[in-house]
C-alpha cells in the first residue's frame, strides 16, 4: 500500500493502538496529523520527532469548535481514522447520567463530529473514514455490566453504516473495526488471569485499519469488521 504524501488524521494516535496505526502509516509514506488531548501526551508520543508527524494539542474532541480547528489545519486530507475513545465498566445501577454522557461524548459524539468534519474536508475529492467500534457494538449481550459503553459504541456502529450510505456517491468509503479486548499492557494489567494469546494484537488490528483507510481499498463501505483474534 502506498500512502506517499497522503495526509491522514489519526485521533487517539498517541494510544497503544494509535501508535501502531501511525507507525504503519509512516512506513507507507503517509503524513500523519495526530491530535493529543494534552501537551504531556504529545511530549510522550514515540513518533513525535518524525518529520512526517504533525502533532497538535486539540483538547476535547467532543467540542465542535476544537474538531473544526483540527480539520481546518490539514491540507488535502485523504483519510480520517478515529481511534479516540474510552472505556467504563459499571452496572446500570452505578451508571449515573454523568457517566452515561461521558461515554457518549468520548466514544460517539467525538467520532460523529470528526466524521462530519472529515466529510466536509473530503468533499469533491473522495477519501476514507475509519472508525473504531467494539465487540459489544455488534454483540449487545456482551455489553452486560458496561451498558453505557456498549450503547455508545453501538451508536458509533450505526453512524458508520448510515454515513457510508450517505456519502457513497462522493467516493468516500466509511467503515469501522470492532475489536474484542486488544492485547495491550493496560489490558493485561486489568485482567491478569485472561488468555492473552487469544486477544488480537495491536499490530493486527492496526493492519486492518490501515487497509480500510488505504487507496488500495476500493469497494467496501458500511462494514463494521470484527477483529476478535481467537477471543
Q: Does 149 qualify as catalytic in the annotation?
A: yes
Interval 169-187 mean pLDDT: 95
**Grid cell of 176 as nine digits:** 469501522
pLDDT above 90 for 44: yes
Instruction: Identify the pLDDT of residue 104.
Output: 98
Backbone angles phi, psi at 30, to 5 degrees: -75, 160
- For 45-88, the pLDDT digits (tens) are 999 999 999 999 999 999 999 999 999 999 999 999 999 999 99
Question: Which candidate in 3, 45, 78, 149 is catalytic?
Answer: 149
Share of residues in the chain with pLDDT > 70 (%) = 100
pLDDT above 90 for 12: yes
Q: Which CATH class is domain 7-227?
A: alpha beta
Taking the domains of the chain in order of start, what are their residue ranges? 7-227
Interval 143-163 mean pLDDT: 98
pLDDT-derived band at 119 (thresholds 50, 70, 90) equals: very high
Residue 91 near residue 143 (C-beta atoms within 8 A): no
Q: Hey, what's the torsion of the CAs at 39, 40, 42, 45, to 10 degrees?
A: 180
What angle, rounded to 10 degrees, do the helices at 64-72 and 110-122 form? Answer: 30
Instruction: Identify the pLDDT of residue 191.
Output: 92
Instruction: Identify the pLDDT of residue 231.
Output: 84
Amino acid at each position: 500500500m502506498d500512502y506517499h504524501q497522503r495526509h491522514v488524521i489519526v485521533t487517539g494516535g498517541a494510544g497503544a493502538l494509535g501508535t501502531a496505526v501511525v507507525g504503519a502509516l509512516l512506513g507507507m509514506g503517509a503524513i500523519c496529523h495526530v491530535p493529543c488531548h494534552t501537551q504531556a501526551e504529545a511530549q510522550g508520543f514515540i513518533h513525535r520527532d518524525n518529520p512526517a508527524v504533525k502533532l497538535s494539542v486539540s483538547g476535547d474532541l467532543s467540542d465542535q469548535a476544537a474538531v473544526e480547528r483540527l480539520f481546518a489545519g490539514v491540507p488535502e486530507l485523504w483519510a480520517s481514522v478515529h481511534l479516540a475513545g474510552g472505556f467504563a465498566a459499571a452496572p446500570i445501577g452505578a451508571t449515573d447520567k454523568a457517566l452515561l454522557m461521558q461515554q457518549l461524548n468520548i466514544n460517539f459524539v467525538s467520532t460523529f463530529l470528526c466524521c462530519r468534519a472529515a466529510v466536509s474536508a473530503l468533499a469533491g475529492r473522495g477519501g476514507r473514514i475509519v472508525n473504531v467500534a467494539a465487540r459489544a457494538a455488534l454483540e449487545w449481550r456482551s455489553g452486560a455490566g458496561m451498558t453505557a459503553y456498549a450503547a455508545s459504541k453501538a451508536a458509533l456502529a450505526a453512524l458508520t453504516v448510515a454515513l457510508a450510505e450517505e456519502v457513497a456517491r462522493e467516493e468516500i468509503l466509511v467503515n469501522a473495526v470492532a475489536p474484542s479486548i486488544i492485547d495491550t499492557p493496560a489490558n493485561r494489567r486489568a485482567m491478569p488471569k485472561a488468555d492473552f494469546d487469544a486477544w488480537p494484537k495491536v499490530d493486527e488490528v492496526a493492519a486492518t485499519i490501515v487497509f480500510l483507510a488505504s487507496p488500495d481499498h476500493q469497494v467496501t463501505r458500511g462494514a463494521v469488521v470484527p477483529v476478535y483474534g481467537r477471543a
